[in-house]
Structure 1
């Protein structure tokens, strides 16, 4: 082999080896350093063989280009490509992510990106756009959804020794029951517990979204979305929490009324019905329709409760100018004869008509009563009606910011908020979270309206029920000594 050729061969092979070493140090099986070194080194080797006059010069020149490509491509481009191929590494360093699920997702994604490719580099947009991480993999400590434990209301929540009823109007056990019962459809990282706390704070204080945003250190737009999302989730469980009793539960309700009123004549009573007015800011075009007899704008809430004050049916949304009896006639419980079942009755005040059909509704004697027998029926009947009024009082005391001033929300959203309050009332009762009512209201709307065709009056049963209530529970011993037949 000529001397020039041997020198060119050595000079050409040397940068090829350096290029391979540079590429290997960058973990690139087919990196740009190797490609450039082999290509340019090969040109130098060919020149050393073919061009003997310029073999040494050509080999040194082309071999030097291969060496430079090895250093710049293998070490420089290799480092850049490694950074592009592992875009989640910076995300983990910035957010302090430690969730095992997210790390597993990252590892699998990085391994997928690091597979050998047929091209020499990865475009930036292709390397950084990752598939959506499932909600179960979202790390609660990420920069977007990290809980700010410096927020005072959250400090109270995480301190298990603190009573939350002063700030959130529900006990801790009631809040946990609510959180476990609802399902939230969310596409971001806010925890379900935090969303429930935010909704309860907004409901308990009737605060603006701006105030709630500052209290929880959450964007105002997110506060709006969370409030509506949680309220919708509560409405979805309404029929599980507020439902008519059946079977043994129905018998227990009748026994509860009989025990509460001290007479077995009330064992067929399975509910008490009444209505109340909820303040709101009415639409300007129809404001007069919402003006009630107490001269403030409201909507009607009709409710039926059991003997413990638990709501078993609600009907909300009609304007305050409507009479209680008209609201009843338009409610599903009346039009569909849903409750009470055959042989059972519910009790209502004098604002409702005494009915036998389509529902069995018993009202008190009209004032003034004529004799002690009628009075003996009216007094326990009034105590039974006080159960539903007490339930309204408990709910209004718990959510006084909602019920004692006009709500600053859309009128279309008010019925949903009131229904949420009724659901939360039942959840609180189930967990022993009882609030004594501070005030009571007289919701009597005056004499009932005339009966519609198809309804049947129940006034003929007044005397029978009054006689049953007035009859002694135990026969006196002296009565056994005589036969009156």
Structure 2
């Protein structure tokens, strides 16, 4: 038989708690059992916490519930029923009566409580200020999320799987907002009306899931795409000699404020602390002619040189790219190599040979793709690349990997930006004269051959 429900308003008991009968379920006449769910809301850490008390009364002559026999605590609920997110719901002390029992099987947008006693449902709440823009198809999402609506839709098409799409959409929006503004978890919690603990776990969980998209989004060109790549670098360099280039490599430093570690102190009146006063993490990337990342490697300390970063990367160790007969382009911080990775760098600026000067000019135009790519990344995710990250170093590589995934998604969806001013690594004054490792062979002979072809 179907149960009937009625809602009983809560009352203030004078001790800072609001108690009362929440959903009262009645069985048809003739049945001896009454079930009562008590809802208790109390202030805790600036947020209201939902506590549910369940009572069973077998007395057929009295309608008064018996004392509590079982108590369940729902820790920092972020979703309640299928109407609204709890912080906006409980802030107004309003609950809609829902025809749903505890024993009901979870539907497409439900998550089972860990104790099995409470079913929570989730749907986006358009009344939440930060979600108003997203829920209105006519509004621009870039100011809030640093991604246009086309990019968000592309991301959702890749990331939303299974039935619980409403919750997944909300979590992705929380993460993108955190990434775009570089705010604290507390600010994210207050902005979206969710508990602080949920904001922290959402950011971590979504980062893990979006990193997995790199297998689809950040990958090396196929044999068919390779032809377009070499033609693209030839157009960038304005010479067919560079139609054997299949990528440009470069890197940048990400400043870190390690939580719990004392930072350098600055006295009043002193000059601002230089960027080198903070530890950094290296981020190496390889892009194609369009500026799309095809390989990334991050996580090693900033004290390591670009050459050492390259030698530690899978790109170098596996030597699977570039394919035979092709080469990568790099700036003067790298040595000119033939093997294990064919990497062509410019001649030293002090080399005034007209042949070499001309080669450097074409080389710089082709290499500009990686410099422009990092410039776009720094403009879109300026709180990640231009401000110190107050994150644990072990989590930063995942954040950087997600940035590259979102960067490639933006390119595919036409969400383009002009880059910020960045250091042009192609104009390094002097090329490095580093020793070659035992497994390396110099690429200077190949570079000389390319220079001669340009002059003819």
Q: What TM-score comes out, normalization by structure 1 length?
A: 0.68
1:460-479 mapped onto 2 (5 Å cutoff): 460-471=445-456
Give the aligned partner of residue 356 of structure 2.
374
Larger Rg: 1
Cα distance in structure 2, aligned partners of 1:341 and 1:229: 36
Distance across 2 between alignment mates of 1:363 and 1:180: 39
Whether the 8 Å contact between 1:195 and 1:226 is mirrored in structure 2 is yes
CA distance in 1, matches of 2:194, 2:110: 22
Considering fraction of residues, name the structure with more strand: 2
Partner of 2:366: 384
> Does the C-alpha gap of structure 1 residues 448 and 173 become closer, same or farther in structure 2, counting only changes over 3 Å?
farther
- Contact (CA 8 Å) 2:334, 2:345: kept in 1 or not? yes
The residue number in structure 2 matching 1:239 is 215
Superposed CA offset, 1:395-444 (max 9, x none): 01001111111111111111111111111000000001011012212455
1:223 aligns with 2:199: yes
Equivalent residue for 1:157? Answer: 134
Confirm or deny: 8 A CA contact 2:214 2:405 kept in the other structure. yes
Instruction: Kindly tell me the number of residue pairs found equivalent between the two proteins.
Output: 364
Aligned equivalent of 1:330: 312
Give the distance between the partners of 1:210 and 1:184, measured in 2 at CA. Answer: 28
Match of 1:207 among 149, 174, 183: 183
After superposition, the C-alpha distances for 1:160-202 in whole angstroms (9 at most, x for unaligned) are 111111121000010111122125799x996222111111111
The answer to whether the 8 A contact 1:298-1:320 is kept is yes
| Residue 132 of structure 1: how far off its partner (Å) | 5.2
1:164, 1:170 within 8 Å by CA — same for their partners in 2? Answer: yes
Match of 2:439 among 446, 454, 466: 454
- What is aligned with 2:228? 252
Q: SS of 2:422's equivalent?
A: coil
The structure-2 alpha-carbon separation of the partners of 1:416 and 1:184, relative to structure 1 and needing over 3 Å to count, comes to farther
Matched, 1:425 2:425: no
Partner Cα distance (1:361, 1:74) in 2: 84
Cα distance change on mapping 1:293 and 1:337 into 2, 3 Å:
farther
> 1:281 deviation in Å?
1.5
Q: Give the structure 2 partner of residue 171 of structure 1.
A: 148
How far 1:350 moved relative to its partner? 0.7
What does the per-residue CA deviation read over 1:348-404, in whole Å, with 9 as the maximum and x for residues that have no partner? 001101110111110111122232211111001011111101100000100111111
Q: Which of 24, 29, 38 lines up with 1:26 in the alignment?
A: 29
Tell me the SS of whatever aligns to 1:301: strand
Question: In 2, distance between residues paired with 1:323 and 1:138?
Answer: 48
State the secondary structure of the residue aligned to 2:234. helix
Paired with 1:148 and 1:461, the residues of 2 have a C-alpha distance of 61
**Partner SS state of residue 284, structure 2:** strand
CA distance in 1 between counterparts of 2:433 and 2:275 reads: 15
- Change in Cα spacing, 1:79 to 1:264, as seen in structure 2 (3 Å) is same
Change in Cα spacing, 1:286 to 1:268, as seen in structure 2 (3 Å) is farther
Give the match's secondary structure for 2:294. strand
Which residue of structure 2 aligns with residue 14 of structure 1? none
Q: 1:199 to 1:341 in 2, by over 3 A?
A: same
State the 1:130 CA deviation. 2.2
Query: CA, structure 1 residues 261+201, in 2 after alignment: closer, same or farther (shift >3 Å)?
Result: same
1:117-176 deviation digits (Å, cap 9, x = unpaired): xxxxxxxxxxx752652444569xx98645443322111111111111112100001011
Q: Which sections of structure 1, spanning at least 5 residues, go unmatched?
A: 1-23, 33-72, 81-90, 98-102, 107-127, 472-485
* Preserved contact between residue 292 and residue 320 of structure 1 (Cα < 8 Å): no
Q: Structure 2: how far apart are the matches of 1:224 and 1:373? A: 56
Q: Are residues 351 and 185 of structure 1, via their aligned partners in 2, closer, same or farther at CA, if it must alter by over 3 Å?
A: farther
Q: How large is the RMSD of aligned CA atoms in angstroms? A: 3.4
Alpha-carbon shift at residue 316 of structure 1 (Å)? 0.3
Q: Does 1:133 align with 2:106?
A: yes
Shift of 1:283: 7.2
Partner Cα separation in structure 2 for residue 409 and residue 214 of structure 1: 20
Pick from 319, 328, 337: which aligns with 1:355? 337
Give runs of aligned pairs for residues 14-413 of structure 1, distance below 5 A.
Answer: 26=29, 76=61, 94-97=95-98, 130=103, 133-136=106-109, 145=122, 147-183=124-160, 191-282=167-258, 294-413=276-395
Contact kept in structure 1, 2:299 and 2:393, CA below 8 Å: no
Shift of residue 280, structure 1, vs aligned partner: 0.9
| 2:341 alignment partner, SS class | coil
The CA distance in 2 between the partners of 1:74 and 1:385, in whole Å, is 83
* Structure 1 residues 185 and 323: alpha-carbon distance in aligned structure 2, compared to 1, 3 A threshold: farther
TM-score (norm 2): 0.72
Question: Does structure 2 conserve the Cα–Cα contact (< 8 Å) formed by 1:325 and 1:448?
Answer: no
Offset of residue 74 of structure 1: 11
Q: From the two aligned structures, give the one with the greater helix fraction.
A: 1
**Residues 150 and 94 of structure 1: CA distance in aligned 2, closer, same or farther (over 3 Å):** closer
1:374–1:466 Cα contact (<8 Å) kept: yes
